[in-house]
């Protein structure tokens, strides 16, 4: 008589959270020393004010697990070809589009992402140095650019997604930041003439390999 009750007790509960639509023209985070606007959508990163890991392009979905006091959201980005846990900038979501979904990104995942070696290798500088400044200059002319590469929360491999809509031939001030763990994609930055803004995006590492110096940094322990 009590067996059904026991079964109910063994079924784990799934916390309900809200999922929202991502938007364009997102303000860069002043809390991280940035200014300007991101036309394509808000940056996604390994932590608040951390390493850029892509762009939550407008019109996709994001599940909010938690929000920091500064307004950064941690949760699941459901993008064009990716579906993984990450942080997103404040003001990146249309808060009028919320729907209830099940929780799927844990504190353990957020903690693992604090170590930059969890998602990348061959960084331009040791942990807590560089802060996005150009230490390895690049020419990106002739390279294809993509807003996104990662596909899941393992960050072991990926696929180029969301081609950038601007003309790579007019970019200036190119700089290298890191390479994905599979060695196929590199995160770079450049000033985009059409926007008058510094934009971060991925290019094939093979396109810039000849410009990279030896001795790129693989120290871990970045922390949160």
Q: Among candidates 218, 222, 221, 224, which has minimal Cα distance to 124?
A: 218
pLDDT digits (tens, 9 = 90+) for 69-96: 999 999 999 999 999 999 999 999 999 9
pLDDT at 15: 77
Q: Is pLDDT above 90 for 65?
A: yes
pLDDT at 219: 92
Domain boundaries in the chain?
A: 17-117, 119-211
Which of helix, strand or coil describes residue 100?
strand
Q: Among candidates 97, 72, 100, 103, which has minimal Cα distance to 21?
A: 97
Q: How far apart are CA 150 and CA 161, in angstroms?
A: 9
CA distances to 41, 73, 153 from 105, rounded to whole Å, are 21, 12, 9
Say which residues have a Cβ less than 8 Å from residue 72's Cβ, sequence separation at least 6: 29, 48, 49, 87, 88, 89, 90
Least confident piece of the model among 109-118, 122-131, 151-160: 122-131
pLDDT digits (tens, 9 = 90+) for 12-46: 555 789 999 999 999 999 999 999 999 999 999 99
User: What is the pairing mode between strands 16-22 and 137-138?
Assistant: unpaired
């Amino acid at each position: 008589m009590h067996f059904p009750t026991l079964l109910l007790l063994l079924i784990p509960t799934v916390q309900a959270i809200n999922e929202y639509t991502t938007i364009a023209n997102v303000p860069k985070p002043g809390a991280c020393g940035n200014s300007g606007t991101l036309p394509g959508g808000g940056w996604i990163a390994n932590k608040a004010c951390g390493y850029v890991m892509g762009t939550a392009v407008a019109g996709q979905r994001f599940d909010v697990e938690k929000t920091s006091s500064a307004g950064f959201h941690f949760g699941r980005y459901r993008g064009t070809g990716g579906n993984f846990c990450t942080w997103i900038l404040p003001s990146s979501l249309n808060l009028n589009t919320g729907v209830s979904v099940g929780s799927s990104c844990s504190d353990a995942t957020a903690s693992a992402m604090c170590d930059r070696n969890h998602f990348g290798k061959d960084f331009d500088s040791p942990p807590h140095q560089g802060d996005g400044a150009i230490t390895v200059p690049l020419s990106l002319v002739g390279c294809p650019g993509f807003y996104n590469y990662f596909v899941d929360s393992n960050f072991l491999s990926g696929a180029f997604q969301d081609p950038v809509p601007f003309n790579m031939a007019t970019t200036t001030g190119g700089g290298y930041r890191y390479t994905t763990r599979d060695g196929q994609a590199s995160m770079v930055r450049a000033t985009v003439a059409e926007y008058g803004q510094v934009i971060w995006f991925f290019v094939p590492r093979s396109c810039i390999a000849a410009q990279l110096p030896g001795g790129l940094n693989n120290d871990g322990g970045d922390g949160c």
